[in-house]
Structure 1
Amino acid sequence: MSGSNSAYVRTAILAAEPAPPGERGAMAWLRKNLLATPKDIVLTIIAVAFLAWALPHLINWLFIQAVWQGSDRTFCATAVQGGIQPDGWSGACWAFVNAKFDQFIFGRYPIGERWRPTIVGALFVLLLIPILIPKVPRKGLNALILFGALPIFSFWLLYGGFGLEIVETPLWGGLMVTLVLSFVGIAVSLPFGIVLALGRRSSMPVIRIVCVAFIEIIRGIPLITVLFMASVMLPLFLPTGWTVDKLLRALIGVAIFASAYMAEVIRGGLQAIPKGQFEGADSLGLGYWQKTRLIVLPQAIKLVIPGIVNTFIGMFKDTSLVSIIGMFDLLGIVRLNFSDANWASAVTPLTGLVFAGFVFWLFCFGMSRYSSFMERHLDTGHKR
């Protein structure tokens, strides 16, 4: 209104006020997360009481009474058993893990040739880190080297030939085999799972029936059965004189099994895409593959990142099942060393299993945290 006084209108935005003292700090977090309701208070008291009882015993066994150095079982055994412990078994026998650490990592790989898997591991880490960092450029070239060139180079370096001593795959073992199986399973299951998910949603009956049959049959069979079929039955279908390496059979079995589960995860993401996205792509004149590659798949994969990583974590842990077909992954090589008479004691097996469990947890927790990071990085409006 002309002539009205507008001097009261503020021309600058007020600075944000700090949160009230009762809404910030450690006490506010405790009230909100642990003491919000009577039920929360009771559960918190029970949890704190349990931790107060269990943690001292756990810390004492793992660290305080643990044996860190030693050359055989006598350092962890009681005096009655011929050991040096005077009044009972020691805590964790980390001397056993220290003595067998190289075997836990490399299995029975020849000692003089272990520089080869070390180089492969270093190259894998150097190529993986740029893939995981969103701001690093040339992702396509990096992925081509990581998933294309590195497996070929790694197989030559690990197996040998062309100037290198040949190391048969039955000598491979430990964490090296666990990582090989996991890497191949992840690298194969994701693209194959995408193809199977798209095929299951295809309008072509033959393709849809084949994909549905593959997914449902594989998902209905335990991984142990798949590994047995790959290890025992597959050679029966090969011509006389032909053979397939046992590690390759395990790789095929794990990849096939993971692909079926991955397909259902991806299909869930495809079904979550609004119909308007498909119609918008059609209105732009995009073909099926253009629409799928540019519009549908990026959104679907982003929505199901937790499911994808969950499948990867499950597959990483399931690699321990290859021990039933005579291969020794990390858990298998740890258990194999329990039979070493030089380290036979009551605390050796538990210590070895704790070590193996911690290694598995470390990798799985890392994948979980990176999954959360990528969810936050790619969040563009689906978060509620």
Structure 2
Amino acid sequence: MADTDAFFRTEMLPPKEPPLSQRGVWKWMHENMFSSIGSGALTVLGILFVLYVLASAFPWFAHSVWHADSLRQCRDIVHKTWGPGTDGACWAVIRANWNLYLYGFYPMEQIWRPNLAFLLLLVALSPILFSRLPRKMIWFSACYPALAYWLIWGGTLWISVTIMAGFAVGALVLRFLGRIAGTALGVGGAVLGAVLWWLFVAAPVATALADIVPLHLTFVPSDKLGGFLLSFITGMCGIGFSLPMGILLSLGRRSDMPIIKTSCVLFIEFVRGVPLITLLFTASFLLAYFLPPGTTFDLVLRVIIMVTLFSAAYIAEVIRGGLAAIPRGQFEAADALGLDYWKAQRLIVMPQALKISIPGIVGVFIGLFKDTTLVIIVGLLDPLMGISNAVRANVAWNGVYWEPYIFAATIFFIFCFGMSRYSMYLEGKLKTDHR
């Protein structure tokens, strides 16, 4: 048999690029768009549908008119520029009614007040949304609601100050009574102290301070609010107040105390079982029958309360799902460390539950912000239907249809998409596993 020598390569082969189908755009398209015959067929149909929509809508957008005083003038400009029978978007209606869409019928000479309130809102949200900022800024965030109320509605500043002082009184009662009688009695005493302050002390103190140092802005009634200003007020208040209320409701539903558990279950199931429109009707019309004669209750405040209660019921169920997902060992570990109920919830249980519940909570917030358009049911001018109807009631713009809805939908999309992206950022930031 002839001798054979084994061959061993002594040098490394130069690296080569993977096949074209296994790299770059082609790989992504193969995996996501053409991974099978069905997937490829759906991709082709989807592309054809998108091209059809673009081909149909592009001329309308391309023939846009931004400067005109009426719909007739818009059409004359389109026909003169692109020929008779041509159709185009008349965005001049948005430009001519810009302030109406943003502020409703808010007095023009006072527009600086909601603008300042919006800028301060960004400052107040910064330490809440981004942990790298100084934590001392959270004090401004706590005081912002009173300042925003004074800027938007006006009146004397001392009303807002005394209202915030009620929360300070409640916090002091909780701090001192909680050490002596326990957390439960401390919370009850704090609520009672704050309510007594608001009922009997706040008004005389505000009047006395207003006589000494008059800090006053022109009062703007709630029926002047409208447009995106009204949506922001209703949405931000609902989001800010419904989250802590939802947390308490979720804890109450899991409580071992029958009265608290039954009350929370009845509230959650009742609110989730009726449409939001029903609650808004109740706030607008039926509530007046249960109030003493001559009592006035601001309509926007009633809407905010109902929207907050509605959102809180849904958030409570979302957070309850997060609590149910936490292993039993976490509760036992809190007991082993000797923590009481509230410390265990604050330090161990609730942070994990909220992290799990972030997608559901943000979903409720997005739905809440879009549902602010339902205030048209109670006579308030939302930016989608109320303001659009008011604009079309003007003879100059009678006949405008698509442009107001597209503009309002775009603004809502920007804010809702922003909340969605922040939710994804927060999930990534709080992710502790490395899978």
TM-score by length of 2: 0.79
> Paired residue for 1:338?
392
> Paired residue for 1:38?
37
Distance across 1 between alignment mates of 2:347 and 2:123: 29
Q: Secondary structure at the match of 1:136?
A: coil
Aligned mate of 1:72, from 70, 75, 95? 70
Q: Secondary structure at the match of 1:366?
A: helix
Aligned mate of 1:164, from 205, 217, 226? 217
Q: RMSD value over aligned CA atoms?
A: 2.0
> Paired residue for 1:206?
259
- The structural deviation recorded for 1:248 is 0.5
- The structural deviation recorded for 1:340 is 1.1
- The structural deviation recorded for 1:131 is 2.7
> Paired residue for 1:145?
140
Q: Where in structure 2 are the equivalents of 1:112-131 lying within 5 Å?
A: 112-131=109-128
1:61-86 Cα offsets, whole Å, 9 max, x none, are 22x1111111111223369xx99986
> Paired residue for 1:354?
406
Runs of 4+ in 1 over 4 A off after TM superposition: 17-22, 82-86
Distance across 1 between alignment mates of 2:363 and 2:101: 25
Q: Which runs of 5+ in 2 are unaligned?
A: 1-14, 157-215
Distance across 2 between alignment mates of 1:75 and 1:263: 53
Q: Which structure dedicates a bigger proportion of its chain to helix?
A: 2
> Paired residue for 1:61?
60
- The structural deviation recorded for 1:38 is 1.2
- The 3 A distance-change label for structure 1 pair 89 and 379 is same
Distance across 2 between alignment mates of 1:182 and 1:95: 28
Matched, 1:376 2:428: yes
Distance across 2 between alignment mates of 1:171 and 1:210: 38
- The structural deviation recorded for 1:299 is 0.3
Distance across 2 between alignment mates of 1:244 and 1:123: 27
- The 3 A distance-change label for structure 1 pair 56 and 134 is farther
Q: Which has the higher contact order (CA 8 A, sep 6+)?
A: 1
Q: Secondary structure at the match of 1:358?
A: helix
**Matched AA of 2:134:** P
Q: Secondary structure at the match of 1:249?
A: helix
- The 3 A distance-change label for structure 1 pair 319 and 83 is farther
Q: Secondary structure at the match of 1:87?
A: coil
* Kept after mapping to 2: 8 A contact 1:67/1:75: no
Aligned mate of 1:229, from 250, 271, 282? 282
- The structural deviation recorded for 1:88 is 2.9
Q: Where in structure 2 are the equivalents of 1:1-384 lying within 5 Å?
A: 20=18, 22-62=21-61, 64-77=62-75, 87-88=84-85, 90-138=87-135, 141-146=136-141, 148-162=142-156, 163-331=216-384, 332-345=386-399, 348-381=400-433
Q: Secondary structure at the match of 1:304?
A: helix
Q: Secondary structure at the match of 1:330?
A: coil
Distance across 2 between alignment mates of 1:93 and 1:317: 25
Q: Secondary structure at the match of 1:327?
A: coil
